[in-house]
Structure 1
């Protein structure tokens, strides 16, 4: 079984052509997959950047709250066991400088309201965390009352005790 010199060349030629087609098809598939992957990365990064821009825009719109520190209060408390005093220092959280300035300009009314509220409290009640939480809500209510009969209420959202001593 001898092979003719012309036949092996003819057999190698079709195998070479099929390998060449295979490499071309693999290369095209790799390029196509690379293009799809690159497009996906580009699209996802574009969406992320759009989300980041929206988030930055929202952060610019949201203003930082303003904190207004009040002068310390010292009041007599209601107590069954002798005289008790409360010394408290607090800071109010308001949305902006306009609210802060409004409260400052009406500070005599604010102080009077808070002295009346604080002096009506029982010492034992204020020693508990629940008592302090209730007091915070009552302070917010009192300070938010309008300063004039038909005026707008203030916008105090929270109260922070910076000093709280009962003796």
Structure 2
């Protein structure tokens, strides 16, 4: 009687082979499509063939190695963080900003390091004009960074005759 009441237990697989095959095919298609898109963006030239010039471009006698060195990014760190008081409607805050300068090429790197006291003075002048209300918003911080870039570029262009700093990066921002 015990044999009549016992039911045989069958273990049925939860997933089918069709489902596994469909998942594998979808993954292969996605990877293949992503690889094709990457190849298209990386290796498709523009409308301009190699060596041609657009109207207004000046031909350069520089070697490809020199051109590549000019495009190479260098990050110039300023020795100290900027610490200043920001005035607000309700109360003043103490702000600390750490900055790095993005320059292109070893020549611009050397110029940025050489004139770093001038850059620091210009940045401190721009930063100290900021208000607490400006520094509490993302848009305000972006505007402060843009204003700092404009002032540093203008100051160094007057001194060296060319724009040395491409971008100013905030690598540390604390407001108390």
Which TM bucket (shorter chain)? 0.5 to 0.7
**Superposed counterparts of 1:76-87, under 5 Å:** 76-87=85-96
CA contact (8 A) 1:146 1:152 kept: no
Structure (1/2) with the larger helix percentage: 1
Shift of 1:149: 5.1
Q: What is the match of residue 65 of structure 1?
A: 73
Aligned length in residues: 115
Q: What is the match of residue 153 of structure 2?
A: 144
CA offset digits 1:2-61 (Å, max 9, x no partner): xxxxxxxxxxxxxxxxxxxxxxxxxxxxxxxxxxxxxxxxxxxxxxxxxx7x9xx99965
CA contact (8 A) 2:76 2:100 kept: yes
Larger Rg: 1
Q: What is the match of residue 18 of structure 1?
A: none
- The two structures have a TM-score, normalised by structure 2, of 0.56
**Superposed counterparts of 1:21-60, under 5 Å:** none
Residue number among 123, 130, 137 corresponding to 2:139 in the alignment: 130
User: What is the CA–CA distance in structure 2 between the aligned matches of 1:97 and 1:143, rounded to whole Å?
Assistant: 18
Shift of 1:153: 3.7
CA contact (8 A) 2:112 2:164 kept: no
Distance verdict in 2 for CA 1:67–1:148, change over 3 Å: closer
CA offset digits 1:99-139 (Å, max 9, x no partner): 12212212221111111110110011111111111111111
User: Unpaired runs of 5+ in structure 1?
Assistant: 1-51
User: What is the CA–CA distance in structure 2 between the aligned matches of 1:66 and 1:92, rounded to whole Å?
Assistant: 8
Residue number among 107, 119, 128 corresponding to 1:119 in the alignment: 128
User: What is the CA–CA distance in structure 2 between the aligned matches of 1:87 and 1:164, rounded to whole Å?
Assistant: 6
Task: Give runs of ≥4 in structure 1 deviating > 3 Å.
Answer: 57-63, 146-151
CA offset digits 1:54-77 (Å, max 9, x no partner): 9xx999654321111122110111
Distance verdict in 2 for CA 1:93–1:86, change over 3 Å: same
User: Unpaired runs of 5+ in structure 2?
Assistant: 1-42, 52-63
Give the aligned CA root-mean-square deviation in angstroms: 2.9
